[in-house]
Amino acid sequence: MAYVLLDSVASVRVFSPTLVGDGLVCTIQSSPSGSILIYFIPQADFAADRGAGLLNQFSSAVEDLLGGSGATAAAGVQGVDSSSLIYDAVLFTVTYTPPGPIPGTITGEVEIPVDVITADTSFLGSASAPNLIHAEYERLVALAGQ
């Protein structure tokens, strides 16, 4: 198992003015990074005993991004979108260590919604999680004058 369940709370999630769903807001610690993440499991998936699989898939996706994309840390966050609806996301810290005269590292952050992390990236193009992290990494490289 790529995660440890730390907490779960029954919740109602509003997806649009006409779509509401019951579910669980789960807080997990992914492994091996130890990142604390948030994931909403719809009640239907929980009742069908698919909750553990969804959490494992999500945790693995985050760990894969931490494994070689330039992202060095991740933390679960929630935000409010333009429709005033809550969404779950992961805030990735991206790190670049410039060679040469600049001492230390340069870091930036990228907030990526959970549904982008768990989506089939073949149709997302530049909006995929790896591409968003790579764009931040390239921004840091340019910032360092490299």
Q: What are the residue boundaries of the structural domains of the chain, listed by start?
A: 3-143
Does residue 42 register a pLDDT over 80?
yes
> For 117-121, what is the mean pLDDT?
74
Please tell me the predicted confidence (pLDDT) of residue 31.
94
For residue 84, name the pLDDT band (cuts at 50, 70, 90).
confident
For residue 121, name the pLDDT band (cuts at 50, 70, 90).
low
Of the given ranges (15-19, 54-58, 121-125), which has the lowest mean pLDDT?
121-125
Burial class (CB in 10 A: 0-12, 13-18, 19+), 26: buried
The proportion of the chain whose per-residue pLDDT surpasses 70, expressed as a percent, equals 93
54's tokens: 């969804």
> For 90-102, what is the mean pLDDT?
88
For residue 144, name the pLDDT band (cuts at 50, 70, 90).
confident
Site of tokens 């992914």: 30
The widest CA-to-CA distance across the chain, in whole angstroms, is: 57
In this prediction the pTM is 0.88
